[in-house]
Structure 1
Amino acid sequence: MTGDKNDTFRQKMLEHQNEARIVRKIVLIISIILIFVFALIGGGGYLYIQSALKPVDPDSKVKKKVEIPIGSSVSSISEKLEKNGIIKDAKVFKYYVKFKNESGFMAGIYELSPSMDIQEIVDRLKTGKVLAEASFKITIPEGKQLKEIAAIMAKATNQDETQVFNQLNDKEFIKKLMNKYPDLLTSDILNPQIKYPLEGYLFPATYPFYKPNPTVEEMVIAMLNKSQHVLSDYIERGKEKNLTVHQLLTMASLIEEEATEQADRKRIASVFYNRIEKGMMLQTDPTVLYAQGKHKERVVYKDLEVDSPYNTYKHTGLPPGPIANAGRVSLEAAVDPEESDFYYFLATSDGKVIFTKTLEEHNKEKAKHITNKK
């Protein structure tokens, strides 16, 4: 009986082993099939993407006019390019742009060809190499304030200056722009202490427009697109100095307003940072004039008493927001100031800027160069 039981046990063991071998074979076969399928999918996807990145027709001599309207998103640009046969796949183009962190596409009527590769198309859209001549251009100089920019926009388009300025400060208009540029126009601009939400955000540059009467919104979108593109070079570096986008633009605006053509902006920036680090007030005259809404050659002692959060003679730290638009040189100074032990500077009548370390030294230079100050 014992022998029979052992034979039965061995028989069952052999059956289990056979079943296990069969199961392992099945699992192995399924695994090989799945690996093969995934390889086909992955390889096919890779080959498809590689193909989509290449020109639609490398030998094409065709040139097509493609209009990119002001404020176009990457998605809409991608779809337009695919529709016109300039690229193979809109989604691939869109993801390529995001992966390469490309931005700053400019509006205009472009002459593009199916023979162009994706990077060539991207470069063309970024540099604004367009086919059509601009109907007119608007130049916004560095250091301009929102009221002055509104006047330039109104004059260029034969609109009422007051109406343009009012739209630039309209709450619903601002919210609409914030939704479109969430990383640029943050909730910081809604601080009730801020005079004008868009102050400092309309980048100084020359803007071409391809129809004779663009709306205020179209002009502002062109400027904000430029701001967003330019600031992409400085935002991360600003974060290293614990500056938000808003604070970066604010600091750059102070540098812009204080600097003369001969001034070393990085040294001016060092003075501001040194004073902030030491808990001193910035005491910069342009903030006083901005608080008053004035343009004057010289600030007198009475001006320093103005009751405003922008008055850096009464409040420590940065003012609530920018006091003008700043150019690249001032933005660069804001993120990369010179290392110095200066705490004071003084602009002379001939445009020079004198830097000093102590109040005593500053007052001596002030006595030499500034007279008849009341």
Structure 2
Amino acid sequence: MTTDKKDIIRHKLLESQKEAKVVRKIVTIISLILVLLIIIVGGGGYLYIKSALNPIDPNSKIHTKVAIPIGSSVTSIGETLEDHGIIKNARVFKYYVKFKNEAGFMAGEYELSPSMDIPEIVSRLKTGKVLAQPAVKMTIPEGKQLKEIAAIMAKATKQKEADVFKQINDASFVKSLMTKYPNLLTNEILNTAVKYPLEGYLYPATYSFYKKNPTVEEMVDAMLEKTQSVLANYSEESKEKKLTVHRLLTMASLIEEEATKKADRKAISSVFYNRLKKGMPLQTDPTVLYAQGKHKQRVYYKDLEVNSPYNTYKHQGLPPGPIANAGKISIEAALEPENTNYYYFLAAPDGKIIFSKTLEEHNIEKAKHISNKK
């Protein structure tokens, strides 16, 4: 064999060895990456499952009635608990029950809380154990203003209405709540034009307390927690529409106050948004009454002269803040207005809402259905 042939063979062997080393390195790197991915995914899965087994909110004071029908499967129980905001993940609940070989869940109506972990919830469902009967129970209806809510709180706890109202408007109390709920209670509520900082932030619902004399702070905490919990479902939508919590609750409160049982809240919402886009004042009567601090069946022309930033006949745009609390339907309407060309609406005596595109149409409908309103 000639020297040239030997050199060629040696060169090829060296190249093959180099290629083999490169392949081994690549295989090693890929193997390491796969191992790391397995560790990360496994670790992440473990942390997620561990998190899902823990309470959603260990400090929550909310207690929700949850009905478990006879014959419910583990899957349906888990979905019910997740829908009520009691657990984080229905699937994790299902696998936990199967892994622990739990069985014998009892049908019934339970009062459960996001402060409970899954083992405690499972224990209650197996024993049929419900929470003790609440010592204090109060219902805050939709469309209530802060003064009215204070009256409900005072009656439920046998306190003086003036004392309750004074505390929920106390500057230091409000600031302490802002520290506690920074994403809910922002500096917008401290605007000097805002009548009452917590107006519109106390969610309409039924609240149960298991001590005889809950404090004002404990009651307000429960209501703010509920508001925060409800609004969390709409956080992405609010960001897309560039609506702060304060503006969202303000718009929702206007819809709530204008709505009747037969009203289409999304159409009402469309009127408000259409007017805002066109630079027209909202001209909604409930803001005038709120500015006056009155509840009246009729609004007269003289009422429209009230000097207040809440008077949407005199001032364009939204009022400085909410004028009442709003329920879920009105919040959703504020986020998802109907696509219309309406700029006017009025409520007929029978509760029907009549929408119009022009002032001329509106005045014709007004003459038909309403007399001497203003």
TM-score of the aligned structures, taking structure 2 as reference length: 0.71
Distance, in Å, in 2 between the alignment partners of 1:260 and 1:115 is 39
Matches within 5 A, 1:266-285: 266-285=266-285
CA distance in 2, matches of 1:54, 1:312: 51
Go from structure 1 to structure 2 and tell me whether the alpha carbon gap of 1:159 and 1:262 turns closer, same or farther (over 3 Å shift).
same
Q: Distance in 2 between matches of 1:181 and 1:54?
A: 27
- Separation in structure 2 between the aligned mates of residue 242 and residue 45 of structure 1, nearest angstrom: 35
Note the C-alpha offset of 1:239.
Answer: 2.6
Distance 1:281 1:106 in 2: 46
> Which residue pairs with 1:242 in the alignment?
242
Are residue 133 (structure 1) and residue 139 (structure 2) matched? no
Residue identity in the other structure for 1:181: Y
SS of match in other structure, 2:317 = coil
Which residue does 1:113 correspond to in 2?
Answer: 119
Give the direction of change, closer, same or farther, for the CA distance of 1:71–1:171 in structure 2 (3 Å limit): farther
Task: Report how far residue 297 of structure 1 moved.
Answer: 0.3
Map 1:24-173; keep pairs closer than 5 Å. Answer: 70=60, 107=113, 113=119, 130-173=130-173
Q: How many Å apart are 1:240 and its aligned residue?
A: 2.3
Whether the 8 Å CA contact 1:287–1:312 is kept in 2: the answer is: yes
Residue number in structure 1 paired with 2:11: none
What's the CA shift for 1:354? Answer: 0.5
Give, in angstroms, the shift of residue 33 of structure 1.
Answer: 12
Partner of 1:355, secondary structure, is strand
Are the equivalent residues in 2 in contact too, given 1:253–1:323 (CA < 8 A)?
A: yes
**Equivalent position amino acid for 1:359 in 2:** L
* Corresponding residue SS for 2:226: helix
Amino acid aligned to 2:304: L
Question: What is the match of residue 179 of structure 1?
Answer: 179
C-alpha separation in 2, matches of 1:42 and 1:255 = 50
SS where residue 311 of structure 1 aligns?
Answer: coil
Against the structure 1 CA distance between its residues 338 and 42, is the aligned structure 2 distance closer, same or farther, given a 3 Å change threshold?
A: closer
Deviation digits for residues 26-80 of structure 1 (CA, Å, limit 9, x no counterpart): xxxxxx999999999986786666567669xxxxxxxxxxx966559xxxxxxxx
**CA distance in 2 between partners of 1:190 and 1:177 (Å):** 12
Matches of residues 293-308 of structure 1 in structure 2 within 5 Å? Answer: 293-308=293-308
How many percent identity over aligned positions? 63
Whether the 8 Å contact between 2:61 and 2:115 is mirrored in structure 1 is no
Q: State the shift of 1:186 in Å.
A: 0.4
Partner of 1:330: 330
Cα distance change, pair 308–51 in 1 and its aligned pair in 2 (3 A): closer
TM superposition outliers: structure 1 runs of 4+ over 6 Å: 32-46, 52-55
Closer, same or farther: CA 115–304 of 1 in aligned 2, 3 Å: closer
Offset of 1:234 from its aligned partner? Answer: 2.0
Alignment partner of 1:113: what SS? Answer: helix
- After superposition, the C-alpha distances for 1:331-353 in whole angstroms (9 at most, x for unaligned) are 11000010000100010111011
Distance 1:334 1:308, change over 3 A: same
How many aligned residue pairs are there?
304
In 2, are the aligned partners of 1:142 and 1:326 still within 8 Å (CA)? Answer: yes
> How many angstroms does 1:133 deviate by?
2.5
* d(CA) in 2 for partners of 1:214, 1:311: 37
Distance 1:289 1:219 in 2: 27
Q: CA RMSD in A?
A: 3.6
Taking the aligned partners of 2:196 and 2:217, their CA distance within structure 1 comes to: 16
Deviation (angstroms), 1:233: 1.6
State how 1:207-218 maps to structure 2 within 5 Å.
Answer: 207-218=207-218
1:215-249 Cα offsets, whole Å, 9 max, x none, are 00000000011000101122321232221110000
For the 8 Å contact 1:344–1:357, the answer to whether it is kept is: yes
Which position in structure 1 is the counterpart of 2:316?
316
**Residue 266 of structure 2 contacts residue 338 of structure 2 at CA under 8 Å; is this kept in 1?**
yes
- Bigger mean CA offset, 258-267 vs 37-46: 37-46
Letter in 2 for 1:113: P
Alpha-carbon displacement from aligned partner over 1:313-333 (angstroms, at most 9, x marks no partner): 000000000000000010110
Could you tell me whether the CA contact under 8 Å between 1:282 and 1:312 is conserved in 2?
yes
Alignment correspondent of 1:8 = none
Find the counterpart in structure 1 of residue 105 from structure 2.
Answer: none
Is contact 1:110-1:130 (8 Å) kept? Answer: no
Residues 294-314 of structure 1: CA distance to partner in whole angstroms, max 9, x if unpaired? 000010000000000000000
Residues 125-178 of structure 1, C-alpha deviations (whole Å, 9 max, x = no match): xxxx95333223110000000000000000000011000000000001001000
For the Cα contact (< 8 Å) 2:275–2:282, is it kept in 1? yes
Q: CA deviation at 1:113?
A: 3.1
